[in-house]
Amino acid sequence: MTFVDVSSVNAFIPGQVELDAHEARMIEQRDRLLGPAYRLMYQKPLHFVRGEGVWLYDPDGRRYLDTYNNVVSLGHCHPDVVEAITRQVATLCTNTRYLHETILELADSLLSTVEGDLSHMMLTGSGSEANDLAYRIAQVRTGGTGVIITETAYHGITDAVSKFSPTLGEGVPLGMHVRTVPAPAAYRTGPNVGERFARDVESAIADMKRHGIRPAMLIVDSLFTSDGILPEEPGFLKGAVEAIRKAGGIFVADEVQPGFGRTGSHMWGFQRHGIDPDIVTLGKPMGNGQPIAGLLTRHDVVEEFGRSSRYFNTFAGNAVSCAAAAAVLKVIKRDHIMDNARNVGAYLLSQVEALRERHACLGHVRGAGLFVAADIVTDQESQASDRARTTQVVNAMRENGVLISACGADHNILKIRPPLIFSRENVDLFVDVLDKALEL
Amino acid sequence: MTFVDVSSVNAFIPGQVELDAHEARMIEQRDRLLGPAYRLMYQKPLHFVRGEGVWLYDPDGRRYLDTYNNVVSLGHCHPDVVEAITRQVATLCTNTRYLHETILELADSLLSTVEGDLSHMMLTGSGSEANDLAYRIAQVRTGGTGVIITETAYHGITDAVSKFSPTLGEGVPLGMHVRTVPAPAAYRTGPNVGERFARDVESAIADMKRHGIRPAMLIVDSLFTSDGILPEEPGFLKGAVEAIRKAGGIFVADEVQPGFGRTGSHMWGFQRHGIDPDIVTLGKPMGNGQPIAGLLTRHDVVEEFGRSSRYFNTFAGNAVSCAAAAAVLKVIKRDHIMDNARNVGAYLLSQVEALRERHACLGHVRGAGLFVAADIVTDQESQASDRARTTQVVNAMRENGVLISACGADHNILKIRPPLIFSRENVDLFVDVLDKALEL
């Protein structure tokens, strides 16, 4: 049997709606073969057999506009990435204990996207492994173990990282060395979020020290994705970064979600804030679906770790994953993907914003590039979260062929995160379907 | 600059030999772009541009017999796996929050290789993530944190798993909740390794409890790869498994190295011992190079974890990696790969064994299927480890076009681990080159 998990955003809960026979059988097989820990999305789960560009297709040939999956940020089955993988997988797929060109080319183009002293790239197999490695490096670098995160953060699922990923739910306890601070939401708390955030980080540090815990790192998703997508006031992270450094810790920018051009204005979310992280972690869209992730760091940060711990990861840095990631970077540049994210993102934001006039349940709308958030509320006056309606909207859109999900502590924030090749026509379709879903 | 790391087996140490200009430039680029934590193999590192079957090719077209890389256990660029990846990557690459057929087919064929109550497959992106997930499940299942491992074990590189991977070196401290036991080496200690191993595990449990640590798991590579490859006396693990269960912990069989038919006699190393693990972790050869790993477990072991923690891993279970792994299982069956591992492995073992007559430095030789170990010693009488000569042999073989490496606490054990498609002709070439290297 499948466990009911009411804490998981937009998870399938068995028994709520009637399923087609084929999907019901697949769900039964999943429960039997994959066990009780896996979750499906939507009240009526989806079965896909093909993807192309912004579209996913079910077995009946019905297409769904993918406005959610940021892994395939260049679109499903992007021809350049498919070609790079197809070519490399037939030629060579080996590891970093031998010399090969592709990893060096990848490092060179990736490091050319950052300023300052970030001079090294290290590769992992997932964003979780990247944040886990960042934490290992931070501990060696600082001699500390303490971690500061935002209240509704998600950084991954390894044993260590799950201890600083509160969105995994109350069944996964935070570490005793972990402190949380409220995410900086100007639209709810008013201006001066930077000062407030810095003060909260300082309090967390003081509390940590009072408990004999030495700070290792402050880690934030620079777009605060799981906290509700908070792009306001570029620059507000500066004070917090200064505070953690003053306490002997390092600052890690988790770019697994905001990175690779999604914000349109910058390649990386942290660049919007004019700060220089000690470590930048990378993931999801890095290989447009091919497993590859990693981090960028300065020499002095990783020097002692390199000496004492060394690093080898069997799959990470294999020639095929490197070829995919190199192709992604090439396409982002060649096809002016960031311009598209900026222009189409601005159009998407304005069109969703425009719906507020006609829908009292649409609260605050905000975004950066092709990452847009919209609060679903009981009314625009009180701004009170309406989780039930959010679930209804997400599932109504799925019924009408558009995929999104929700996020935030109250599970009431629409998470709109289409591929970066999204067009104005795609936006029009999206807004039309959203409009209808908000009428329910 | 590259750090000298004398503790790492068979690592490149700068300045020892003269390098070709092209390789010297690539190494300089690696140091600059990848930083100080990466290591290369061999006194004179290798640069590969192409792989096919048992061969790897350098830029000059020189070919090397690959007798080491177990990730590509069906051989480099195996046509069936290349085709499966090529087809799937152009069709769909999405995650486990939607239904797709491939993951179910994979689970079904993987679970058909194990007996008993192992009924669920969970996927990860690496063997490290698999052992990390096993540890998370073990903690929820047992309420404990204690881990028992062998003295020279390697289980991976996440923060949690590195704390129970002593081969990472003294720069990476073991966890305070971790206890080590000597690996069962009958050829050094005499018979009754099973009794002794069980007694050592019992002592470790007692010590753990005395320190207020509740046991979570005993985890062993069932072929004790990093401890020196110890295939003797099938069955000797039974007592230790009973001991950990009696203490409330679970038994995890780490099949990342011995699994997928390598031993020839069984699909999984633990099956040689007639035991039923609570969790079986899988990795390296699972996708013949495509990143995919995971674990098999019983329903009751993962039930509470499924409820309290749930599980989602962005890349793990993507359709492309599942297609690669499904192709691997198909080829193992269709092409009678295990028969080949058994037959050619026996021939390899006998031929290496035969060299002992002519080489006093060749100590104990042992193996299971296509996994063979040979101790390099000062003389056969004393059996004293000869690390310097081992390094010399490994590097002389590399010079003569054959790739192997070394393992064991004293770094004096030749680690011979060819693809499972290895032929008798390949063995003859291997033995010829080994013969010459041992003469030095």
Residue A95 has pLDDT above 90, yes or no: yes
Backbone φ, ψ for residue A50 (5° rounding): -155, 150
Band of pLDDT at residue B276, cut at 50, 70 and 90: very high
Contact A364, A26 (CB under 8 A): no
Asked if B129 and A127 come within 8 Å (Cβ–Cβ), the reply is: no
**Burial classification of residue A381, based on how many CB atoms lie within 10 Å of its CB (0-12 exposed, 13-18 middle, 19 or more buried):** exposed
**Burial classification of residue A421, based on how many CB atoms lie within 10 Å of its CB (0-12 exposed, 13-18 middle, 19 or more buried):** buried
Asked if B41 and A310 come within 8 Å (Cβ–Cβ), the reply is: no
Asked if A98 and B40 come within 8 Å (Cβ–Cβ), the reply is: yes
A283 interaction partners in chain B (CB closer than 8 Å) = 314
Asked if A291 and B8 come within 8 Å (Cβ–Cβ), the reply is: no
Among residues B174, B154, B147, B127, which one has the least CA distance to residue B227? B154
Q: What are the helix and strand counts (H, E) for chain A?
A: 13, 15
- Give chain A's length: 440
B121 CB within 8 Å of a chain A CB = yes
Nearest to A171 among B40, B157, B308 (CB): B308
Band of pLDDT at residue A1, cut at 50, 70 and 90: very low
pLDDT score at B116: 84
Residue B314 has pLDDT above 60, yes or no: yes
Q: What tens digit of pLDDT does each residue of B173-223 get?
A: 999 999 999 999 888 888 889 999 999 999 999 999 999 999 999 999 999
Nearest chain B residue (CA) to A306: B37
Residue-range domain boundaries for chain B: 79-334
Nearest chain A residue (CA) to B4: A307
CA–CA distance, A106 with B28 (Å, rounded to integer): 16
CA–CA distance, A295 with A242 (Å, rounded to integer): 21
A90 CB within 8 Å of a chain B CB = yes
pLDDT score at A149: 98
Band of pLDDT at residue A186, cut at 50, 70 and 90: confident
CA–CA distance, A165 with A169 (Å, rounded to integer): 8
| Interface mutation target, options A32, A139, A158, A403, chain B, most CBs of B under 10 Å | A158
B108 interaction partners in chain A (CB closer than 8 Å) = 29, 33
Nearest chain A residue (CA) to B138: A159
Q: Name residue B146's beta-bridge partners.
A: B215
Asked if B157 and A305 come within 8 Å (Cβ–Cβ), the reply is: no
pLDDT score at B1: 38
Alpha-carbon gap: B304 to the closest alpha carbon of chain A (Å): 9
**Burial classification of residue B201, based on how many CB atoms lie within 10 Å of its CB (0-12 exposed, 13-18 middle, 19 or more buried):** buried
Q: What tens digit of pLDDT does each residue of A406-432 get?
A: 999 999 999 999 999 999 999 999 999
- Put simply, the chain B residues between 56 and 85 with a CB less than 8 A from any chain A CB are 56, 69, 71-72, 76-77, 82, 85
Looking from the CA of A334 toward its CB, the CA atoms found within 13 Å total 9
Amino acid at B94: T
A109 CB within 8 Å of a chain B CB = no
How many CB pairs below 8 A link A and B? 336
Contact A56, A392 (CB under 8 A): no
Band of pLDDT at residue A2, cut at 50, 70 and 90: very low
CA–CA distance, B281 with A234 (Å, rounded to integer): 44
CATH pick for A337-439 out of 3.90.1150.10, 3.40.630.40, 3.30.420.40, 3.20.20.70 = 3.90.1150.10
Which two structure tokens, joined as six digits, stand for A98?
Answer: 């031998």
Nearest chain B residue (CA) to A87: B86
Q: What tens digit of pLDDT does each residue of A231-269 get?
A: 877 889 999 999 999 999 999 999 999 999 999 999 999
pLDDT score at A402: 98
Nearest chain A residue (CA) to B123: A34
Q: What is the DSSP pairing of strand A279-282 with strand A250-254?
A: parallel
Considering chain B, what is the average pLDDT of its residues?
Answer: 95
pLDDT score at A3: 43
Contact B47, B23 (CB under 8 A): yes
- Overall CATH class of domain B79-334: alpha beta
Residue A6 has pLDDT above 70, yes or no: no
pLDDT score at B7: 59
Which two structure tokens, joined as six digits, stand for B378?
Answer: 């000062």
Q: What is the ipTM of this complex?
A: 0.97
Geometric angle at alpha carbon B265, from B232 and B109, rounded to 5°: 130
Which two structure tokens, joined as six digits, stand for B13?
Answer: 């140490």
Backbone φ, ψ for residue B277 (5° rounding): -65, 155
Looking from the CA of A4 toward its CB, the CA atoms found within 13 Å total 5
Nearest chain A residue (CA) to B156: A313
What percentage of chain A reaches a pLDDT higher than 90?
Answer: 92
Residue B138 has pLDDT above 80, yes or no: yes
Q: The pTM is what? A: 0.97
A72 interaction partners in chain B (CB closer than 8 Å) = 93-94
Which two structure tokens, joined as six digits, stand for B263?
Answer: 């031993």
- Name the DSSP letter for residue A283: -
Band of pLDDT at residue A189, cut at 50, 70 and 90: confident
In chain B, what are the helix, strand and coil shares in percent, each to the nearest 5?
A: 40, 20, 40
